[in-house]
Amino acid sequence: GAGVSQSPSNKVTEKGKDVELRCDPISGHTALYWYRQRLGQGLEFLIYFQGNSAPDKSGLPSDRFSAERTGESVSTLTIQRTQQEDSAVYLCASSLVPDSSYEQYFGPGTRLTVT
Amino acid sequence: AQTVTQSQPEMSVQEAETVTLSCTYDTSESDYYLFWYKQPPSRQMILVIRQEAYKQQNATENRFSVNFQKAAKSFSLKISDSQLGDAAMYFCAYRSDFTETSGSRLTFGEGTQLTVNP
């Protein structure tokens, strides 16, 4: 079946503009995670959704970052007033249920470049 | 909070040889999972191997095996008979048991860039 998809694949934006990044999880997966990967670094956790609920948003780096999810479907990560430090690859992952024994399947990521 | 450390930013190996990538982690939990992921230039994260902390036996997946030392909090990856297609960034990751607030999020190391020389 189809895997996790993300769009756009690449996004170049000017400093100060808002951007929306989209994640389509695997159908039926209730848990969804967003991670950020700065150049040459590991992934850092941003936010977790169980269904359309995000119990803990403390991983979001600032209040310019927000995310929402429609039911158990698509999720959108929005960055307002982008800064150069926001340049990174944003990866999304989904799993059938959030239990630790269930694998997280990753999308290909969106590379965001803020100029 | 858990931390994961990969002390080798870069490693290289000759084709058909064996290479070991190191990973250490810090945690106060007794139940957790450890993973090695491969990330080629396509950015796609590919699960290579996983280890449940409660299992003493080291996990193996074909040419990939781990050396899991729970007391030392060490989790190294051994790649045998290295192939050109193994060249990628490798990430060690830690996963806690599920919690309501964080689900079962992953904590990653900084990665090791593996080059395979023909």
Please tell me the distance in Å from A10's CA to the nearest CA on chain B: 12
Domain containing B93 equals 3-98+106-117
Residue A53 lies in a domain: yes
Q: Of B32, B42, B104, which has the smallest distance from its Cβ to A99's Cβ? A: B104
Q: What is the pLDDT of residue B99?
A: 81
Q: What is the pLDDT of residue B2?
A: 86
Say if residue B105 is exposed, middle or buried (CB neighbours under 10 Å; 0-12, 13-18, 19+): buried
Residue A101 lies in a domain: no
Residue A109 lies in a domain: no
Q: What is the pLDDT of residue A90?
A: 98
- Cα dihedral A25, A103, A54, A89 sign: negative
- Token reading at A51: 């269904």
Residues of chain B with pLDDT under 50: none
Domains of chain B: total: 1
Nearest-angstrom CA–CA distance, B112 and B90: 5
- Write the CATH number for B56: 2.60.40.10
Q: What is the pLDDT of residue B76?
A: 98
Q: Of B106, B109, B111, which has the smallest distance from its Cβ to A45's Cβ? A: B106
Say if residue A84 is exposed, middle or buried (CB neighbours under 10 Å; 0-12, 13-18, 19+): exposed
Q: What is the pLDDT of residue A1?
A: 58
User: Residues 2 to 31 of B: which have CB under 8 A from any A CB?
Assistant: 4, 6
pLDDT in tens, chain A (115 residues): 589 999 999 999 999 999 999 999 999 999 999 999 999 888 999 999 998 888 878 889 999 999 999 888 999 999 999 999 999 999 999 998 877 778 899 999 999 999 9
Sort out which chain A residues have CB atoms less than 8 A from B104's CB and list them. Answer: 31, 95, 98-100, 102, 104
Residue A15 lies in a domain: no
pLDDT in tens, B70-80: 999 999 999 99
Say if residue A18 is exposed, middle or buried (CB neighbours under 10 Å; 0-12, 13-18, 19+): exposed
Domain containing A82 equals 1-9+23-94
Q: What is the pLDDT of residue A55?
A: 81
Q: Which of the 8 DSSP states describes residue A82? A: -
Sort out which chain A residues have CB atoms less than 8 A from B47's CB and list them. Answer: 103
Listed in sequence order, the residues at least 6 apart from A32 whose beta carbon sits closer than 8 Å to its beta carbon are A23, A25, A48, A49, A69, A75, A92, A93, A94
Residue A113 lies in a domain: no
Are B5 and B112 a contacting pair, CB within 8 Å? no
- Token reading at A71: 């039911």
Whether residues A45 and B102 touch (CB distance < 8 A) is answered with: yes
- Write the CATH number for A59: 2.60.40.10
Domains of chain A: total: 1
Integer-rounded Cα radius of gyration of chain B: 14
Q: What is the pLDDT of residue B31?
A: 87
Residue A103 lies in a domain: no
